[in-house]
Structure 1
């Protein structure tokens, strides 16, 4: 028995390699990631890279209200960090009904607001406080006002924040009793 399929573009990065920018949606999403990591995206309106009704889903499954609330919810998750870097490792992109979806895996490296020992090394040899392997699901739409003609419609984050919380506890950024409130 055959199953209906749709064409998909896949790429992976080995060692210090970067993901290919060959696919136009992935090219846009790599720019998105770089703008988010360097802080440029955080100083301009979220609508430069995202549609007005952008929806963010947290790794616990909570779907935030569209627009500004989703954008603020995404930023909240990165608030304990003074610097972060998404090291893309794999991406699969496909188009369904005029909407592009990208499932990707990345190592997310970060430095916490309170200094401490940097024990995690990225593929470029830079040292970081924490490492969280993560998966992401992006939905993108064509939009002539967006960078490279695309904008992000939704984003779902999958990651285990326990190592980050553990390191935050070691550095006195959070107390165990704060976790049960």
Structure 2
């Protein structure tokens, strides 16, 4: 049995000119590098996110609406003193509104608090040292919108990430307590 298919952009690796040749991936590079990884949270969200933007967090919680979802997105990164997304691969297909992308990435983070004895750093592909790395998969829906940055806006983000490497260090450093984690 055959199934209808459509062309898909498949890429293995991190940021590159080849990846950025795709319009949605170039948008993603600029959005991730210039906003997220620079912690430039005070952006004109209407240029980047649709009014009905949805953030689906790793715990399954969905936050609806541009401003509420953006606040929730910022809160996910608030515990870190610095962070960097390093893409590892993706598949992106065009749809009626724009594009849908599913990708893998490493999130490198630095954490508050003093390192505990024996704590080891991890290195990103550029050789920079970080406190921890969290592996993740993401799903993004982009829409073509001339009022958006580069003619594109983000409509939905779904995060599937393992926070345990960062949480374990935060517990060891006393940044959070087990009671805080268990209270919700």
| TM-score for the superposition, normalised by structure 2 | 0.91
Residue 151 in structure 1 maps to residue 153 in structure 2: yes
CA distance in 2, matches of 1:49, 1:118: 37
CA distance in 1, matches of 2:48, 2:97: 18
Match of 2:99 in 1: 100
CA distance in 2, matches of 1:47, 1:115: 38
Tell me how large the CA RMSD over aligned residues is: 1.4
Match of 2:59 in 1: 60
CA distance in 2, matches of 1:112, 1:118: 13
The Cα shift of 1:77 comes to 0.8
Task: Specify which of 113, 135, 138 is matched with residue 137 of structure 2.
Answer: 135
Count of aligned residue pairs for this structure pair: 177
CA distance in 1, matches of 2:149, 2:81: 26
Task: Specify which of 12, 15, 20 is matched with residue 18 of structure 1.
Answer: 15
Cα distance change on mapping 1:113 and 1:45 into 2, 3 Å: farther
Contact 1:118–1:128 (CA<8 Å) still a contact in 2?
A: no
Q: Secondary structure at the match of 2:20?
A: coil
Cα distance change on mapping 1:43 and 1:118 into 2, 3 Å: farther
Contact 2:54–2:62 (CA<8 Å) still a contact in 1?
A: yes
Q: Within 5 Å, give how 1:39-118 maps onto structure 2.
A: 39-40=39-40, 42-116=41-115
Match of 1:124 in 2: 126
The Cα offsets for residues 118-166 of structure 1, whole Å up to 9 and x where unpaired, read as 6110000000011001111010001112221101011000101122111
The Cα shift of 1:60 comes to 1.1
The Cα shift of 1:18 comes to 2.8
CA distance in 1, matches of 2:64, 2:150: 26
Q: Within 5 Å, give how 1:165-176 maps onto structure 2.
A: 165-176=167-178
CA distance in 2, matches of 1:115, 1:97: 50
Detail structure 1 runs of 4+ shifted over 3 Å in the superposition. Answer: none
CA distance in 2, matches of 1:115, 1:53: 40
Contact 2:54–2:157 (CA<8 Å) still a contact in 1?
A: yes
